[in-house]
Amino acid sequence: MREVYITRVSSFLPNRVVENDNMEQYLGLIGDKPSRTRSIVLRQNGIKKRYYALNEKQQITHSNAQLAKEAVVKLFVDNKIPKEISLLSCATSTPDQWIPSHASMVHGELENFPMEIFSSAGVCLTSLQALKICYSNILAGLHQNAVCVASEFPSPTLVSKFYDPEYEITHENPDLDPYMAFEKDFLRFMLSDGAGAVLVQDHLEGESPLKIEWIEMTSYANELPTCMFMGAELGVDEQVKSWKEFTPEDIKNRGVMLLKQDIRLLKKYIIKYWVDHIEAVLAKHDVKAEEIDYVIPHVSSMFFYEKLNDEIAARNIALTKEKWFVNLPSVGNVGSAAIYVALEELLRTKHIKGGQNILLLVPESGRFSYGTVLLTTLE
C-alpha cells in the first residue's frame, strides 16, 4: 500500500505585527467612534497580536492569492517550484472573488507551468479538505508530488466603511436595531490574515518528514443549524436567507455581506460535537489517546481553550492541554490557514523526535463540521 508524507511546511504572515492597541488604526472606526466591544472581546479571546495585508490607510498590500503564493514558494529552494509538482490544492473562506476559482488565481500568481488544481471552499475545515485531496490523489497513485495551501484574507471585509451604512441608519433612527450588531463587531477583533502550505509526496524527503496516517472529517449539518455565515442573514426559524433575496439597498444598509457568527449556537454546540468527533475517529482507527505526543487544536478563541480541555478531561481522554501547542495569542485566528501556521511553528520551535504522534484538530462553526489528522514523525 502506498504511503503519503508531508515533507515540508511553510507559513507566511504579511507585513509587521499589529498589537491590540493599534487594530483600529488599520480597520478604522465605525461611526468615527472607538468600538465599545473591543476590550471585552480581546479579553475573552486572548489574542495579543495579528497580521493584516493592509496598511494604516486601509490599502491592500497583498491579495489572498498572493498570500497563498508566498507560502507556497517558501516550500522550495530559491522559491522555485520544481516541475515534478503536478497538483495544487487551495483552501480559503475569503477568496478575492467568486469567479474565477481561488486555485486558478493562486496558480496564476505562481506563473509556473500547467498543472491540476483544486479549490476547497468553506470555513476553517477547508484546510483539511484541501489536504485530503492531495492525500487521496497520491494514495490512489494519480500524483506523486502535490502542494496544499490554505490562506485567509478577512481584513478588507472588516474595515469600517462596510459597517458605517448600517451604523448611520440605526443611529439616526432609534426604533431600528442593527442586525446582529455584536455578532458582526466582535469578529473584527478575532481574525488575522496569512497563509500556510505543506508539500505532500509519496516518498520521504527533507529534514523532518511526517507520515500522514489518516485524515477524518465529520459534518453534523444534518442535525445542527447554520452558525457562521456571510452574504446572508439567519431568520428566527434558523433558516438562511441568501443575499440574492435582498434589495441592493438592504444589502448595504443591513450589512448582509459582512461575516457574522451566532454566539448562542456556537457556545451550545461547538465543544460537545468536537469531542464526539474526536472520540469516534480515534475509536475507528484503534488509536489510544495515550499514544499521542502533541495535539494542535485550532481554537478560534482562548475562550474555548479551557472549555475544550474540560470536556476532554471529563470524558477521560488523555488529550488534555499538557499536550497542546497553540499559537493563537501571537498570530491571531488565521482561519483555515491556522492549522498549518501552527504546525510550521511547532516543527520549528520544538524538539520533535522520530516516532512521535501529532494530532491535528480542526473545528468549523459554519454548520458544525470537524476534522482530525494523525501524523507520525520520522527519523
CATH of the domain at 115: 3.40.47.10
Please report whether residue 129 resides in a domain. Answer: yes
Please report whether residue 189 resides in a domain. Answer: yes
Region of residue 194 (phi > 0: left; psi between -120 and 50: alpha; otherwise: beta): left
pLDDT higher than threshold 70 for residue 246: yes
Q: Which H/E stretch holds residue 334? A: none
Q: What is the pTM of this model?
A: 0.95
Please report whether residue 204 resides in a domain. Answer: yes
Q: What is the DSSP string of 245-292?
A: GS-HHHHHHTTTTS-EE-HHHHHHHHHHHHHHHHHHHHHHTT--GGG-
Query: What pLDDT, in 10s, does the model give residues 317-372?
Result: 999 999 999 999 999 999 999 999 999 999 999 989 999 999 999 999 999 999 99
Question: From the centroid of its chain, how far is CA 99?
Answer: 21
pLDDT higher than threshold 80 for residue 168: no
User: Whats the size of the chain, residue-wise?
Assistant: 379
Please report whether residue 278 resides in a domain. Answer: no
Question: CA-CA distance, 379 to 305, in Å (whole number)?
Answer: 32
- At 222, is the pLDDT very low, low, confident or very high (cuts 50, 70, 90)? very high
Please report whether residue 318 resides in a domain. Answer: no
Which set of grid coordinates corresponds to residue 78? Answer: 530559491
Please report whether residue 328 resides in a domain. Answer: no
185 is in which domain, residue-wise? 5-209
Alpha carbon separation from 127 to 148, 188, 215, 334 (Å, rounded):
8, 22, 12, 11
- At 175, is the pLDDT very low, low, confident or very high (cuts 50, 70, 90)? low
Mean pLDDT of all residues in the chain?
94
Query: What pLDDT, in 10s, does the model give residues 86-126?
Result: 999 999 999 999 999 999 999 999 999 999 999 999 999 99
- Planar angle of CA 16, 18, 21, nearest 5 degrees: 150
pLDDT higher than threshold 70 for residue 199: yes
pLDDT value at residue 177: 60
Average pLDDT score over residue span 50-71: 97
What contacts 87, CB < 8 A, 6 or more positions away? 115, 116, 117, 118, 133, 134, 137, 143, 145, 146, 147
b/e 318-327 (16+ beta carbons within 10 angstroms → b): ebeeebbbbb
pLDDT higher than threshold 60 for residue 179: no
Query: What pLDDT, in 10s, does the model give residues 278-319?
Result: 999 999 999 999 999 999 999 999 999 999 999 999 999 999
Whether 28 and 164 have beta carbons less than 8 Å apart is answered as no
Whether 135 and 144 have beta carbons less than 8 Å apart is answered as no
Average pLDDT score over residue span 49-75: 97
- At 176, is the pLDDT very low, low, confident or very high (cuts 50, 70, 90)? low
Please report whether residue 64 resides in a domain. Answer: yes
pLDDT value at residue 181: 63
Number of domains in the chain: 1
Please report whether residue 63 resides in a domain. Answer: yes
Which set of grid coordinates corresponds to residue 68? Answer: 497563498
Q: Which H/E stretch holds residue 61? A: none
Q: Which H/E stretch holds residue 119? A: strand 116-121
